[in-house]
């Protein structure tokens, strides 16, 4: 099939202009009759790889999928694009099943979803159906090596024997090699083409913070974006409930979800989340698989995950639509201790402990986090990502020898008998009962670290542990022990380099960002479109994101289509959606333009072009290349787009810290005209583009 025809189909049925990486390759492989294994990250765009071929091929495409909820979602989403599809499972009546079976036979439905347990329902029809393609979704479920092993998957090997000439496409987001070869073997795939997409999800920002005052930090985080949808993953069921309650007390719409809750309540919570009625869910990892909601804007890990695979899958649930989305992980030593205990008591403990250790190293990283993640999945990247906390605030090293000496000698004085918190209290000369009970106030070195805050000591001690000067005795009440390396610092004059603590406590974080988002969050066309989408979704009883994704609404907000032909140029608008929803959305946009004469002024198309690319997740460098512009010109577009409310978030380009620095500069420079004075003030260390963006944010705050 020629590229042009495939592209035309992609636009007609799904409304997309371009394939994402590897989609076309996979589609061509299965269309040529070969088997394939597609390994793509969550949100990478696997569905189209079998949905598009299903439309092109003459016969029926069977999609094996593990979860009934997910099938329904996919079928709804296909229907909204005008594509006939069905699923067959044990909850349906024989009559309903017969109806679908007939539709498959007479060719009016070409795509059928089925759970592996239910394949026998199709058996009776196999002889009378032409099966053109078999897609096995979540194919890692076949492997006991994977993390979601499902025994029913192991029977799927018979499909190849039953249909030796039909292409089988196995899809998964689990990249590890053992699982991959298990999939190929157990499905009896015939010399399959293995396509591994990049696991990089550039639109997800990565951040790790120490777990102090978590609840406060989370509230501050949510208050910056009260309308947005997010998931907070917690380790225990109890935490999910407690946290949800605390958030509710602050007037935040949040619910708890875990496997111990009543099934009906769980289903209700999931529905409310999917339908945008309850934007926030505090959940154990039981939540999320089988949810395709594309407009999850952020994911927080309240506790450290067990391993990087799980972590990546969970944060992958944010930003499936490709729009910028935030992820935040809280790291605490208490979690590490607890997880170590679980891992060492569980099956396969050595492997589990090693995986946990990698997770911990990620959280403690001092270099670009995305590089670490991607290298875990076997991808080597040379460039720093610019969208993780380390890239945004690179660690500053200083000579911390004296601090180290103080801490290590305190541990010695306390006979290596005390946990972290007591050591800090001792260093700070705290006058609490625990200290007095043991008469620690009488020991030498009590209080020698009084001029360093509790928060900072906590960070420094963790760094000392990470450097190997001391360690936690997990099985002995977590007391801190010295290692032989400590002797070198205490007695042989070894110097210790520490990294300065970056303050990210709620009082100081992102105030500017908060203010900026508050002013732009609720106003604007996007909100109008979102409300319309919500209303239609309620009428049709489907999730809002199935009507249109956030990315599509954003694109409408920029292009402001007021005719059918303009509407069809929007990303995510195909023929069916134009016919179904075009009228209402065009009316809403026209109405909005009439009532907001200020906004009706058309932006120069050059800004629009930049914005359209940005919304397609194209990097600034790439935009500059494609549009043959300077990077600085593109950055000036972004500043303008932000100033004019077309972009609501530029934190990717300028950090809260930089904004504060610029404000400081403004005081000194008395708000000069032009950017050069700032550039000089910062000794040429802050790029013009950052300064420009910072000023745009400050202006808007006013
Ligand atoms: P996965 O199954 O890999 O997790 P999905 O198939 O659910 O991912 O796709 C994730 C999101 O990406 C969906 O919202 C989908 O509409 C969108 N998407 C897929 N392919 C494209 C494309 N070529 N262009 C734009 N958006 C796409
Ligand atoms: Zn980075």
Judged on CB neighbours under 10 Å (0-12, 13-18, 19+), 380 is exposed
Question: Is it the case that residue 384 has pLDDT exceeding 70?
Answer: yes
Kindly tell me if the per-residue pLDDT of 68 is higher than 60: yes
Backbone angles phi, psi at 402, to 5 degrees: -65, -45
Using the atom order of ligand 1, give the atom closest to the CA of residue 137.
2
Ligand 1 pocket residue status of 543, Cβ below 6 Å: no
Q: In the structure, what pLDDT confidence band is assigned to residue 146 with cuts at 50, 70 and 90?
A: low
- 46 Cβ inside 6 Å of ligand 1: yes
Tens of pLDDT, residues 632-669: 778 878 888 888 888 888 887 888 888 988 888 888 77
Provide mean pLDDT across the span 340-351: 85
Is the C-beta atom of 203 inside 6 A of ligand 1? no
pLDDT digits (tens, 9 = 90+) for 411-430: 999 999 999 889 999 999 99
Percent of the chain with pLDDT over 70: 94
CA 322 to ligand 2 center in whole angstroms: 18
- How many angstroms is it from 393 CA to the middle of ligand 2? 10
Q: Mean of the per-residue pLDDT values for the chain?
A: 88
Of 511, 519, 517, 408, give the one whose Cα is nearest residue 464.
Answer: 408
**CB of residue 20 inside a 6 A radius of ligand 1:** yes
In short, whether 44's Cβ falls inside 6 Å of ligand 1 is: yes
Residues 78-123 pLDDT 10s:
999 999 999 998 888 989 999 999 999 999 999 999 999 988 888 8
Residue 73 has pLDDT above 50, yes or no: yes
Mean pLDDT of 624-638: 79
Residue 384: nearest ligand to its CA?
2
The predicted model gives 575-587 an average pLDDT of 93
Cβ atoms of 89 and 38 within 8 Å: the answer is no
Whether the CB of 40 sits within 6 Å of ligand 1: yes
Cα–Cα nearest to 273, from 254, 260, 290 = 254
Which ligand places an atom closest to the C-alpha of 365?
Answer: 2
Contact 19 CB / ligand 1 (< 6 Å): yes
Average pLDDT for residues 187-197, to the nearest whole number? 95
Distance 386 CA to ligand 2 centre (A): 5
Structure tokens at 584: 């209402």
What is the atom index within ligand 1 of the atom nearest the CA of 616?
Answer: 25
Any ligand 1 atom below 6 A from CB of 549: yes
Q: Are 406 and 449 in contact (CB under 8 A)?
A: yes
Cα within 13 Å of Cα(582), Cβ side: 19
Higher-confidence residue: 190 or 366? 190
Q: How confident is the model at residue 145 (pLDDT cuts 50, 70, 90)?
A: low
For residue 577, the tally of other CB atoms under 10 A from its CB is 23
Q: Does 472 have pLDDT greater than 90?
A: no
Question: Which residues have C-beta under 5 Å from ligand 2, the single-atom ion?
Answer: 368, 370, 384-385, 388, 391
Q: Which atom of ligand 1 is nearest to the CA of 23?
A: 23
17, 320, 573: residue to mutate for ligand 1 pocket, most atoms within 8 A of CB? 320
For residue 42, which phi and psi values (nearest 5 degrees)? Answer: -55, 130
Going from the Cα of 388 to the center of ligand 2, the distance in angstroms, rounded, reads 4
Residue of 17, 45, 138, 289 best suited for mutating to test ligand 1, as the one with most atoms within 8 Å of CB: 45
Q: Which domains does the chain have, with CATH numbers?
A: 3-196 (3.40.50.300), 204-392 (3.40.50.300), 397-499 (1.10.10.10), 522-701 (1.10.150.80)
45 lines ligand 1 (CB under 6 A): yes
Dihedral sign computed on CA atoms, order 218, 276, 571, 175: positive
Q: Is 320 in the pocket of ligand 1 (CB under 6 A)?
A: yes
Atom of ligand 1 nearest to the CA of 545: 14
For residue 197, is pLDDT > 70? yes
Q: Is the pLDDT of residue 684 over 80?
A: no
Q: Which ligand is nearest to the CA of 15?
A: 1
Please tell me the residue having the least CA distance from ligand 1 atom 4.
Answer: 43
| Alpha carbons 388 and 367: distance in angstroms, whole number | 10
pLDDT one-digit tens code per residue, 251-294: 999 999 999 999 999 989 998 999 889 999 999 988 887 788 99
Q: What is the DSSP string of 41-99?
A: -TTS--THHHHHHHHHSSSEEEEE-S-HHHHHHHHHHHHHTT---EEE-TTS-HHHHHH
Backbone angles phi, psi at 571, to 5 degrees: -60, 130
Q: What percent of the chain has pLDDT over 90?
A: 53
Residue 438 has pLDDT above 70, yes or no: yes
Residue 14 CA: nearest ligand 1 atom is 16
The pLDDT value given to residue 244: 97
| Residue 179 CB less than 6 A away from ligand 1 | no
The two tokens of residue 114 are: 């089925």
Q: How confident is the model at residue 147 (pLDDT cuts 50, 70, 90)?
A: low
Is pLDDT of 390 > 70?
yes
Helix (H) and strand (E) counts for the chain?
A: 34, 17
Nearest ligand to residue 205 Cα: 2
Average pLDDT over residues 337-365: 88
CA nearest ligand 1 atom 19, residue: 45
Q: What is the pLDDT of residue 503?
A: 58
Distance from residue 367's CA to the centre of ligand 2 (Å) = 7
Q: Tell me the three-class secondary structure of 245-303, residue by residue.
A: HHHHHCCCCEEEECCCCCHHHHHHHHHHHHCCCCCEEEECCCCCCCCCCCCEEEEEECC
User: Ligand 1 pocket check: which of 47, 71, 555 to mutate, most ligand atoms within 8 Å of Cβ?
Assistant: 47
**Mean pLDDT throughout 459-484?**
86
**How many alpha carbons lie under 13 Å from residue 620 in its C-beta half-sphere?**
18
**Ligand 2 centre and the CA of 613: distance in Å?**
22
Q: Ligand 1: distance of its center to the CA of 196 in Å?
A: 16
The overall pTM is greater than 0.75: no
How far does the centroid of ligand 1 lie from the alpha carbon of residue 533, in Å? 19
From the CB of 16, is ligand 1 less than 6 Å away? yes
The confidence score (pLDDT) of residue 515 equals 39
What is the per-residue pLDDT across 588-618, written as a single tens digit (0 to 9) for each? Answer: 999 888 876 443 334 456 778 888 888 888 8
Tell me how far the alpha carbon of residue 321 lies from the centroid of ligand 1, in angstroms.
7
Instruction: Ligand 1, residue 322: give the atom nearest the CA.
Output: 12
Question: Which pLDDT belongs to residue 604?
Answer: 57
**CA 643 – ligand 1 centroid, Å:** 30
Which atom number of ligand 1 is nearest to the Cα of residue 316?
Answer: 4
Token representation of residue 621 = 């460098």
The bridge status of strand 111-114 relative to strand 254-257 is: unpaired
Protein residue whose Cα sits closest to atom 2 of ligand 1: 46
Report how far ligand 2's centroid is from the alpha carbon of 359 (Å).
Answer: 16
Å from CA of 314 to ligand 2 middle: 19
Q: How far, in Å, from the CA of 319 to the mean position of ligand 1?
A: 10
pLDDT tens per residue, range 515-531: 334 334 445 899 899 99
């Amino acid at each position: 099939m020629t590229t042009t025809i495939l592209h035309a189909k992609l636009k007609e049925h799904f409304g997309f202009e371009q394939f994402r990486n590897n989609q076309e390759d996979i589609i061509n492989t299965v269309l040529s009759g070969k088997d394939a294994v597609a390994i793509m990250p969550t949100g990478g765009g696997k569905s189209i790889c079998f949905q598009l071929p299903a439309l092109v091929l003459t016969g029926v495409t069977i999609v094996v999928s593990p979860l009934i909820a997910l099938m329904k979602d996919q079928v709804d989403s296909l229907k909204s694009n005008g594509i006939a599809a069905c699923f067959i499972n044990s909850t349906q009546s024989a009559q309903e099943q017969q109806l679908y079976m007939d539709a498959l036979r007479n060719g009016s439905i070409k795509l059928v979803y089925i759970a592996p347990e239910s394949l026998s329902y199709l058996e009776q029809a196999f002889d009378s159906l032409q099966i053109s393609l078999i897609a096995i979704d979540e194919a890692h479920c076949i492997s006991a090596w994977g993390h979601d092993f499902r025994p029913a998957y192991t029977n799927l090997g018979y499909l190849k024997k039953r249909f030796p000439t039909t292409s089988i496409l196995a899809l998964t987001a689990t990249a590890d090699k053992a699982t991959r070869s298990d999939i190929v073997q157990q499905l009896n795939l015939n010399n399959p083409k293995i396509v591994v997409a990049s696991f990089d999800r550039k639109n997800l920002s990565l951040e790790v913070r120490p777990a102090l005052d978590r609840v406060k930090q989370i509230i501050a985080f949510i208050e910056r974006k009260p309308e947005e949808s997010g998931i907070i993953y917690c380790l225990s069921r109890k935490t999910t409930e407690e946290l949800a309650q605390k958030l509710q007390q602050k007037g935040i719409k949040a619910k708890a979800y875990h496997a111990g809750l009543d099934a009906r309540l769980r289903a209700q919570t999931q529905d409310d989340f999917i339908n945008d009625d309850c934007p926030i869910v505090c959940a154990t990892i039981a939540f999320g698989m089988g949810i395709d909601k594309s407009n999850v804007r952020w994911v927080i890990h309240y506790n450290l995950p067990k391993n990087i695979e799980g972590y990546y899958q969970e944060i992958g649930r944010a930003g499936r639509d490709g729009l910028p989305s935030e992820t935040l992980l809280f790291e605490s030593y208490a979690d590490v201790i607890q997880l170590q205990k679980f891992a060492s008591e569980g099956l396969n403990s050595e492997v589990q402990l090693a995986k946990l250790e990698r997770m911990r190293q990620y959280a403690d990283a001092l270099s670009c986090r995305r590089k670490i993640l991607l290298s875990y999945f076997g991808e080597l990247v040379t460039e720093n990502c610019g969208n993780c906390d380390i890239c945004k605030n690179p660690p500053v090293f200083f000579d911390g020898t004296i601090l180290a000496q103080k801490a290590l000698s305190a541990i010695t004085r306390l006979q290596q008998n005390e946990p972290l918190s007591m050591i800090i209290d001792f260093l700070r000369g705290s006058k609490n009962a625990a200290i007095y009970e043991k008469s620690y106030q009488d020991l030498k070195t009590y209080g020698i670290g009084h001029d360093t805050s509790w928060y900072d000591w906590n960070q420094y001690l963790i760094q000392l542990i990470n450097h190997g000067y001391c360690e936690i005795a997990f099985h002995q009440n977590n007391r801190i022990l010295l290692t032989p390396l400590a002797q070198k610092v205490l007695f042989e004059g070894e110097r210790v380099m520490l990294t300065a603590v970056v303050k990210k406590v709620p009082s100081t974080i992102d105030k500017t960002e908060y203010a900026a988002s508050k002013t732009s969050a609720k106003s604007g066309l996007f909100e109008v479109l979102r409300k319309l989408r919500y209303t239609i979704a309620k009428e049709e009883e489907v999730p809002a994101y199935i009507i249109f994704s956030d990315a599509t609404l954003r694109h409408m907000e920029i292009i402001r289509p007021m005719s059918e032909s303009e509407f069809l140029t929007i990303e995510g608008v195909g023929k069916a959606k134009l016919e179904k929803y075009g009228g209402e959305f065009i009316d809403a946009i026209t109405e909005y333009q009439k009532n907001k004469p200020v906004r009706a002024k058309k932006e120069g198309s050059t800004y629009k072009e930049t914005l359209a690319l940005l919304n397609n997740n194209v990097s600034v460098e790439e935009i500059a290349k494609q549009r043959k512009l300077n990077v600085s010109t593109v950055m000036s577009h972004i500043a303008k787009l932000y100033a004019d409310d077309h972009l609501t978030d530029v934190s990717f380009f300028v950090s809260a810290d930089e904004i504060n620095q610029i404000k400081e500069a403004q005081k000194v420079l008395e708000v000069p005209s032009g950017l050069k004075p700032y550039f000089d003030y910062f000794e040429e260390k802050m790029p013009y583009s950052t300064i420009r963006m910072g000023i745009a944010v400050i202006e808007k705050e006013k």
